[in-house]
Amino acid sequence: MKKIFTVISWTFVLGSFFILYSCSYLKELSALKDCEFRVGTMENPLLAGVDISMIVTTKDYSIDQTAKITRSILQGTLPLSFILNIEVKNPNKKNASLNRLEYLAFIDDVQVAAGAMEEHVVIPPDGGIANIPLKVETDVFDLLKKEPLNTLLNYTLNLADDGDRPVRVSIKIKPWIQIGNKDRVYPGYLTINQDFSSGE
C-alpha cells in the first residue's frame, strides 16, 4: 500500500512539474510572440576588407580599392560582411527574452548567408525596444562565379539608403527562449520587415 501511495505521489509531483513547465514555456513563448520586430540600420559593410558604405557606383572605387578587390577575386574569394541591426519592441507588461537567434539573410531575394547569434537578450516591457546586431558574412564570388568584375561589384552596391536602412537586404529569424535549463525554439521563421510587425 505504501509503495502504491509513493508511486501516486511521485506521479502527482512529476505531473505538476510538467504542467508548470509547460505553462512557463507557453507564457514565455506568448510574450515573445507578442513582440514586434523590424530591420533597423546596416553598419560597416566591407567587401574584401574595403569599406563600401560611401561607394555608390563602380567609378567611386579608388585604384587601391579596386586592386585589393581584384586580388581577392584572383584568389577565388570575395568576402562581403555587414552588421544588420534587428530591433525588437515588447508591448507586454513584463520582460520578454530570447537566448539565441538563428537567421537567414537575403540580397535581392537570394539567400546569401545563414547563422546564429548566441546571446541572452532581454526586451523591456511597455513598448521597450532592444537592438540585436547580427553579423552577416557571405562570399559574393561563390554566388556569382561566372560573372565579370563589374557585375560582382555592382551586386554589392546600394545595399542601404542614405540613412543606412537596408533596401536590398532582407532577413528571416528564428528566436530561442530558455525555460529552466532548456532552450526552446520558436516554431518557424519570422520574416522581418522595415516597420514593426510580428512577422509571418
pLDDT in tens, the chain (200 residues): 544 444 444 444 444 434 334 444 445 555 677 889 999 999 999 999 999 999 989 889 999 999 999 999 999 999 999 999 999 999 999 888 888 999 999 999 999 999 999 988 999 999 999 999 999 999 999 999 888 888 988 999 999 998 999 999 999 999 987 666 677 777 789 999 888 887 55
**31-83, pLDDT tens digit by residue?**
677 889 999 999 999 999 999 999 989 889 999 999 999 999 999 999 999 99
Q: Are 145 and 157 in contact (CB under 8 A)?
A: no
41 in a structural domain: yes
d(CA 91, CA 129): 9
95 in a structural domain: yes
d(CA 45, CA 6): 63
Q: Are 154 and 132 in contact (CB under 8 A)?
A: no
200 in a structural domain: no
Domain that holds residue 158: 2-192
Give the helix/strand (H/E) hosting 142: helix 140-143
Q: Where are the beta strands (DSSP E) in 18-150?
A: 36-47, 50-51, 79-90, 96-98, 100-107, 110-117, 121-123, 128-139
d(CA 129, CA 88): 5
Q: Other CB atoms closer than 10 Å to residue 2's CB: what's the count?
A: 6
The pLDDT, as a whole number, for residue 15 is 43
171 in a structural domain: yes
Cell numbers placing 56: 555608390
**55-64, pLDDT tens digit by residue?**
989 889 999 9
Q: Per residue in 122-153, is it b (16+ CB within 10 Å) or e — as a string?
A: ebeeeebebebebebebbbbebbeeeeeeebb
198 in a structural domain: no
Cell numbers placing 188: 518557424
94 in a structural domain: yes
199 in a structural domain: no
Q: How many residues does the chain have?
A: 200
- What is the number of domains present in the chain? 1
Encoded amino acid at 40, one letter: G
Q: Which residues pair with 84 in a beta bridge?
A: 42, 134
pTM greater than 0.85 (yes/no): no
Q: In what order do the strands lie in the sheet with 36-47?
A: 50-51, 36-47, 79-90, 128-139
Question: Residue 168 — φ and ψ, nearest 5°?
Answer: -120, -5
Residue in this structure with the C-alpha cell 500500500, named with its chain if needed: 1
106 in a structural domain: yes
